[in-house]
Structures are given as structure tokens and as C-alpha cells.
Structure 1
Amino acid sequence: MVVGLPAHASLSADIFFTVTKSISIYGSYVGNRQDAREALEIASRGRVKCYYEAKPLSALAETYEGLEQGKIVGRIVLDMRDD
């Protein structure tokens, strides 16, 4: 999520990966520089919670199954180092 609308900003996306990974891009005209400052201040006070779980790369199949079943809460971070 990006807060604010910088002048002359642009966005490019690879259409192949956007389609194959079912990525949705949404735009919003709401927000300004002050809103961005306030959002960062909220995050700096620890009021933004990020829910994630780290798993080894060997858990990839299990992770996909959890996604398909709707059992994943937050994000999964796969560790690409050797198990």
C-alpha cells in the first residue's frame, strides 16, 4: 500500500506475472504527504502488526496446501537457505 500521490509518478507491471500470479493492482486517489507521515508515525509506534511465519523451503508444498484451504493467516516467509 502506498499513501500519497507523487507528481509524475508511474507504475509498470509485467503483464505475464500479473496474470499468472493473479496479482491485483488497485489505485486510490486518497492520501497526501501528511497522510504518509502520519502512517509512518503510527507504524513507528508499533501500532502496525505484521503476522508472518518463517518456514524452510522444504515446506513449500505444505504452504500451498494451506493457502488453497484458507488456513494461512498473514504471510509465510520461506527460508531459501539449506534446511
Structure 2
Amino acid sequence: MTRALAARRVSASPGGALPEYRIYYERSSGRLEAGGRFTCVTDDEALERLASAKDLPAAGEVELWTGGRLVARVPADRLRRER
């Protein structure tokens, strides 16, 4: 599932610092709510971690960001089915 959502990218900076990823949940009102933050080496690893998150909403969209770059936007119910 996750490999089809984003290009495989090694996201660590040349200095070796791992990028921070942020999760945002779209609520039924259409507003985004900040979720967790974590670091990973690649986008694929971050997507796997997103898919295993325990506090996913029942509906709406889930977005994964690193810096100013949107990594993926996935329906929450799709992530729940993929577990």
C-alpha cells in the first residue's frame, strides 16, 4: 500500500540529520488537526509508521508532511483497512 503512495526517497540530509515528519488529520468540518511528529530515514519508512498509527480518525483524510513537502494524502479508512 504505502510504496504506491510515494516515490521511494531517502530523505536524510547530507549532514546525517533525519527529517521530521508530521501527521495532520482532516476532520469532518474540513479543518486540519495536527497529529504526531516523528523522524524517519525515508518516505517509505514514514508511510509505514503512519499506517501503523493507533490514533487514526475513522473518516476523513490523513496527510503526511516533511518540511514544506506533502508526502502523501490518504483516506483514513484506507489506512485502517490496510492494517
Higher Cα Rg: structure 1 or 2?
1
TM-score for the superposition, normalised by structure 1: 0.22
Structure holding more helix per residue? 1
TM-score for the superposition, normalised by structure 2: 0.22
Structure holding more strand per residue? 2
